[in-house]
């Protein structure tokens, strides 16, 4: 809009000279006069009221506009608000603009590992997640944008929810395992019926034991048993993934799921 208005003096001047050349075109003449007046009214306000800030603002808009044209050839994300382009070398994904701090729209192509600046692999150092998670929420939390536009509030709600999801997913071995498989294009079919009798018999017995446990000591004993099992199957998962044996990896995930479930039951009772 601004650009068009600012272009007006030129076109108006052109039309004026044209109109002066051929007096017959009266309607154009009057129209161009109106345009000219508009442009003249606009021009002083630009230079006097807004001053340097206005100029720099203009400059940014302009760069947004021109880079907007070239965005089709290169895909470095840029801020919807100020037009600043994300640094290509940046290790953190572009969820917030570094220049104007505006929250950016959710980009689904950014995976959970990228959000936490991690390499895409199953074995990660979980202890670093919480700090990074809190850092993100300091920038993305919807409470921080309550005075901003509806659009940005929506972005903040989406980004914040996604970071929560990412944190929850990566912090637990089971959900992380399922997520890593998903990134590999292997989906865990949750609707399937399993009939691994050995596993199911074991789980049935465990669940009965949890149900009938007389005291918390008995429960804690099963709990630590489950932790051992989870550790074991988590390691198996890691090596299956490493060798890209996805069927084996799925078997590990199923087992982790069941042992996690037993653990949850124990937690409920403790």
Partner 1 sequence: MLRLGAKKLAGLAPRVPASGPAGVLPRLYHERVVDHYDNPRNVGSFDKNDPTVGTGLVGAPACGDVMKLQIKVDEATGKIVDARFKTFGCGSAIASSSVATEWVKGKHMEEVLSIKNTEIAKYLRLPPVKLHCSMLAEDAVKAAIKDYEGKRAMSNGSSDGAKDIPLEKAADA
Q: How far is the CB of 143 from partner 1 (least distance, A)?
A: 30
- Which residues are within 8 A (CB) of 160 and not within 5 positions of it... i.e. 6 or more apart? 136, 137, 140, 141, 142
Residue 103 forms beta bridges with which residues?
Answer: 96
Q: Which residues does residue 216 pair with via DSSP β-bridges, in sequence order?
A: none
**What is d(CA 257, CA 251) in angstroms, rounded to the nearest whole number?**
10
Pick 40 or 227: Cβ nearer partner 1 = 227
Closest separation in Å from C-beta 264 to partner 1: 8
Binding site residues, partner 1, CB under 8 A: 188, 190-201, 203-204, 207-208, 211, 253-254, 257-258, 260-262, 264-265, 268
The Cα–Cα gap between 59 and 153 comes to 27
Closer residue to partner 1 (CB): 29 or 261:
261
Please state, as a whole number, how many other Cβ atoms lie within 10 Å of the Cβ of residue 6.
15
Give min distance, CB of 120 to partner 1, in A. Answer: 24
Distance CA 260, CA 270 (A): 15
Q: Which is nearer to partner 1, 135 or 264 (CB)?
A: 264
Whose structure tokens read 């895409």? 120
Longest Cα–Cα distance in the chain:
106
Beta carbon of residue 262, minimum distance to partner 1 (angstroms, whole number): 8
The answer to whether 170 touches 228, Cβ cutoff 8 Å, is no
Give whichever of 96 and 262 is closer to partner 1, judged by the CB atom.
Answer: 262
Question: Quick one: tokens of 246?
Answer: 């996805």
Closest distance between partner 1 and the C-beta of residue 193, in Å?
4
Please report how close the Cβ of residue 121 comes to partner 1 at its closest, in angstroms.
23
Of the two residues 143 and 211, which places its CB atom closer to partner 1 in the complex? 211
Task: Select 82 or 203, whichever has its Cβ closest to partner 1.
Answer: 203
Smallest CA-to-CA distance from 112 within 133, 98, 127 is with 133
Q: Smallest distance from the beta carbon of 203 to partner 1, in angstroms?
A: 5
Cβ nearer to partner 1, comparing 145 with 266: 266
> Number of C-alpha atoms within 13 angstroms, CB side, residue 97?
18
């Amino acid at each position: 809009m601004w650009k068009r208005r600012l272009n007006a003096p030129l076109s108006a001047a052109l039309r004026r000279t044209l109109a002066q050349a051929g007096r017959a075109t009266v309607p154009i003449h009057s129209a161009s006069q109106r345009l000219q007046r508009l442009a003249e009214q606009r021009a002083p306000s630009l230079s006097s009221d807004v001053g340097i800030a206005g100029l720099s603002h203009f400059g940014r808009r302009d760069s947004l506009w021109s880079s907007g044209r070239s965005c089709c050839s290169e895909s470095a994300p840029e801020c919807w608000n100020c037009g600043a382009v994300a640094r290509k070398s940046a290790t953190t994904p572009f969820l917030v603009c570094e220049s104007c701090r505006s929250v950016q729209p959710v980009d689904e192509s950014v995976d959970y590992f990228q959000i936490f600046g991690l390499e895409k692999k199953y074995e990660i150092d979980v202890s670093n997640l919480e700090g990074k998670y809190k850092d993100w929420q300091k920038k993305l939390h919807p409470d921080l944008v309550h005075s901003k536009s509806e659009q940005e509030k929506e972005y903040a709600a989406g980004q914040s929810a996604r970071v929560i999801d990412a944190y929850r997913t990566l912090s637990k071995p089971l959900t992380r395992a399922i997520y890593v498989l998903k990134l590999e294009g292997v989906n865990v079919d949750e609707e399937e019926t399993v009939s691994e009798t050995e596993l199911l018999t074991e789980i049935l017995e465990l669940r009965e034991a949890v149900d009938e446990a007389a005291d918390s000591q008995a429960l804690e004993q099963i709990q630590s048993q489950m932790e051992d099992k989870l550790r074991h199957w988590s390691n198996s998962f890691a090596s299956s993934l490493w060798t890209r044996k996805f069927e084996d990896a799925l078997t590990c995930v199923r087992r982790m799921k069941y042992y996690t479930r037993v653990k949850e039951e124990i937690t409920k009772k403790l």
